[in-house]
């Protein structure tokens, strides 16, 4: 008996998406590229061309989703605004994250963070690079960039994870809401302290930039948007860092190519963000009745631009499930598109591709996956490694 595509969508469970969404995405792209999934409470858009269309038409696919989970956790923010308000907020926050500033101001900070972390475990000969390096590396760097250097990496990581859990709490778990609310309040306190410090002495950080912009943000706008940045600014570089390492350590030939030509680290970065898509889905809400890939979507519908599916679209990326640093096609959507193109793109490219990976391979000779401890992977709204046990030759 043939299963109707809509019947398949009815049976999709959040736990299946968490464990391994790619077989589900493959079937949706083929049979129901735009379809309502009850478990998620929205239409999933899974083909590359349809996601691109939605990103290029913010007039039809608004970021101002009513009752969005991120609004419940964080409040009004630039991710859930359309232009011109989105443009105003971004213009105030973005200057410290531009390429020139990253290289002149932040690159030495990123390198110091990497070296100090490696110093803390190099003599052990083994580590979980998710917990011991990737998370603290991303969190420490972001704390400096934001203007929160006094905040510990473990606090940044906890706040980020609890808020992101709330942003993807489609199961409506009350414990998740409680943790997200507590994290949001803790960020508010840290930002208040930072604003007091930089109000009279600007320091070039994101908080300082927002406070001293030509069109400065209000304290509430600063608090809310710092929360947004803490979420993506830790999760995405952390998960790209660990996923790329996992892929290279699993493929001796591609690893040898990179070690022979360090210029390929850029390819590793772009292929990793396509292959893993750490931020796997963006929510939107339609502003008018429309039809997409043969499916009618009523005005006011909640939709999901499923980046993790679009970045493995067979019509765009040959053998999409294969990690290939020599892939010619690079028009991935990992950083979004249109006016909401990720503000932290250049930060992540530099701190991961030019600092973290080369440092780890240089300082941990014989770096290899731990054969006795498997890697854990999970998630779909945010997807990445949960552990990365490795070994190397002790000094």
Count CA atoms within 13 Å of residue 267 on its CB side: 17
Q: H-helix or E-strand containing 319?
A: none
Helix (H, G, I), strand (E, B) or coil at 245: helix
In total, how many domains does the chain have? 1
Of the candidates 334, 370, 338, 368, the residue with the CA atom closest to the CA atom of residue 352 = 334
- 395 has a pLDDT exceeding 90: no
Instruction: Show the tokens assigned to 5.
Output: 């595509």
Q: What percent of the chain has pLDDT over 90?
A: 78
- Grade residue 233 by pLDDT with cuts at 50, 70 and 90: confident
Residue 1, pLDDT score: 36
Rounded to the nearest angstrom, the gap between the alpha carbon of residue 192 and the centroid of all alpha carbons in its chain is 25
- 262 has a pLDDT exceeding 70: yes
pTM of the model: 0.91
- 338 has a pLDDT exceeding 70: no
Which CATH number characterizes residue 40's domain? 1.10.630.10
From the CA atom positions of the chain, what is the Rg in Å? Answer: 21
Beta bridge partners of 283: 304
Task: Name the residue range of residue 55's domain.
Answer: 5-391
The torsion of the CA quartet 72, 170, 68, 209, rounded to 10 degrees, works out to: 70
């Amino acid at each position: 008996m043939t299963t109707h595509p809509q019947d398949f969508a009815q049976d999709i469970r959040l736990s299946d998406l968490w464990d391994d969404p790619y077989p589900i995405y493959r079937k949706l792209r083929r049979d129901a590229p735009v379809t309502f999934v009850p478990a998620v409470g929205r239409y999933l858009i899974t083909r590359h061309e349809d996601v691109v269309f939605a990103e290029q038409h913010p007039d039809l696919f608004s970021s101002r989703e009513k009752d969005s989970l991120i609004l419940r956790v964080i409040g009004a923010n630039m991710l859930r605004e359309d232009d011109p308000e989105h443009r105003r907020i971004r213009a105030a926050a973005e200057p410290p994250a531009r390429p020139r500033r990253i290289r002149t101001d932040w690159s030495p900070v990123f390198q110091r963070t990497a070296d100090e972390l490696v110093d803390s475990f190099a003599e052990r000969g083994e580590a979980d690079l998710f917990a011991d390096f990737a998370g603290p590396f991303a969190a420490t760097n972001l704390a400096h960039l934001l203007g929160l250097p006094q905040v510990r990496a473990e606090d940044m990581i906890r706040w980020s994870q609890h808020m992101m859990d709330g942003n993807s709490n489609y199961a409506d778990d009350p414990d998740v809401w409680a943790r997200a609310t507590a994290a949001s309040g803790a960020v508010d306190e840290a930002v208040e302290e930072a604003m007091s410090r930089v109000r009279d002495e600007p320091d070039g950080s994101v908080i300082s930039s927002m406070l001293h912009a030509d069109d400065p943000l209000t304290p509430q706008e600063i608090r809310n948007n710092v929360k947004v940045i803490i979420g993506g600014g830790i999760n995405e570089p952390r998960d790209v860092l660990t996923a790329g390492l996992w892929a290279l350590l699993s493929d001796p030939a591609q690893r040898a190519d990179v070690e022979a030509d360090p210029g390929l680290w850029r390819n590793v970065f772009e292929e990793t963000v396509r292959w893993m898509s750490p931020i796997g889905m963006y929510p939107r809400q339609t502003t008018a009745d429309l039809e997409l890939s043969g499916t009618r979507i009523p005005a006011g519908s909640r939709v999901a631009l499923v980046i993790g599916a679009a970045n493995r679209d067979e019509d765009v990326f040959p053998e999409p499930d294969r990690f290939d640093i020599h892939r010619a096609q690079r028009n991935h959507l990992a950083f979004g598109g249109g006016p909401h193109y990720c503000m932290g793109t250049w930060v992540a490219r530099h701190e991961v591709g030019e600092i973290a990976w080369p440092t780890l391979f240089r300082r941990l000779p014989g770096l290899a996956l731990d054969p006795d401890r498997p890697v854990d992977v999970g998630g779909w709204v945010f997807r990445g490694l949960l552990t990365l046990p490795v070994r190397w030759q002790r000094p």
